[in-house]
Amino acid sequence: MSLLDQAEFADNPEPRCPVILLLDTSGSMRGEPIEQLNAALQQFDRELKSDPLAALRVEVAVVEFGGAARALGVYGEDTGKDVQFDASRAFVTADLLTPPTLTARGGTPMGEAVRRGLDLLHKRKEIYKQNSLDYFRPWMFLITDGNPTDQWETAAEQVRLEESRKGLLFFGIGVENADLKTLARFTPDNRPPLKLRGLAFGELFQWLSRSLSAVAHSKPGEQVPLPPAGWAEIAV
């Protein structure tokens, strides 16, 4: 045995790659759309867990907006409960994730969801710093089928500003009759909102898990090429 084999390794926690899912659960999502979305979340969970490194690095939070914006628990006893935007409870690494089952009701407080989501990310970064955890740029992934029913303009400006500061990566996805023009006020110019093809939530979340896996495996200075968005409707 070589002397080198006696070297023991520092047991550091893996760097974290946070993703917040902002999911529209307003009344118009009732029926087929919400069922497809719930099934897609389960699939997302399975796929993240199938990549051992991503499972330890990707942290998921779910903020639903239907009637009101709520951060839902994603782990153990908390699953599906309102965790009051508590950044220490709202996120969990994919290996421990239990996706909540969403129910559709009420209006579309999208502005509130984005504002609360930004705040949650900010607080999560503070937790990383306190615990000497390295982290990747957070992702915020918004899916909506409608129009915001609250005051959304300042939230849109905030998220664009945060994106321009490289504070996060924001993706806006419109479903069926979503108002893409409004959504485009949230998204950066170089990443306009995309329209989901039909109710292809499964493909969308498969794409998301693959993209997050690629980020979780990335090295300093690497620009991660995202897989083609096969789930998007092609603009003609």
Under rule CB under 8 A, residue 222 binds other proteins: yes
Q: How many angstroms separate the Cα of 80 from the Cα of each of 76, 134, 201? A: 9, 28, 20
Query: Closest separation between CB of residue 121 and other proteins, Å?
Result: 13
d(CA 235, CA 106): 30
Which pairing describes strands 58-66 and 68-72: parallel, antiparallel, or unpaired?
A: antiparallel
- SS3 state of residue 93: strand
Q: How many angstroms separate the Cα of 144 from the Cα of each of 24, 27, 34, 66? A: 5, 11, 11, 10
Residue with tokens 């993706």: 171
Question: Can you tell me which of 32, 77, 223, 235 binds other proteins, judged by CB under 8 A?
Answer: 223
Query: Closest separation between CB of residue 57 and other proteins, Å?
Result: 9
Residue with tokens 């998220």: 159
Query: Closest separation between CB of residue 118 and other proteins, Å?
Result: 16
177 versus 218: smaller Cβ distance to other proteins: 218
Under rule CB under 8 A, residue 236 binds other proteins: no
Question: Could you say which residues in the range 37-76 bind other proteins, by CB under 8 A?
Answer: 53
Which pairing describes strands 17-24 and 139-144: parallel, antiparallel, or unpaired?
A: parallel
Under rule CB under 8 A, residue 1 binds other proteins: no
How many residues comprise the chain?
A: 236
Under rule CB under 8 A, residue 9 binds other proteins: yes
83 versus 168: smaller Cβ distance to other proteins: 168
Under rule CB under 8 A, residue 32 binds other proteins: no
Under rule CB under 8 A, residue 137 binds other proteins: yes
DSSP label of 187: S
Under rule CB under 8 A, residue 190 binds other proteins: no
Q: Contact positions toward other proteins, by CB under 8 A?
A: 2-10, 12-13, 15, 53, 131-137, 166, 215, 217-223
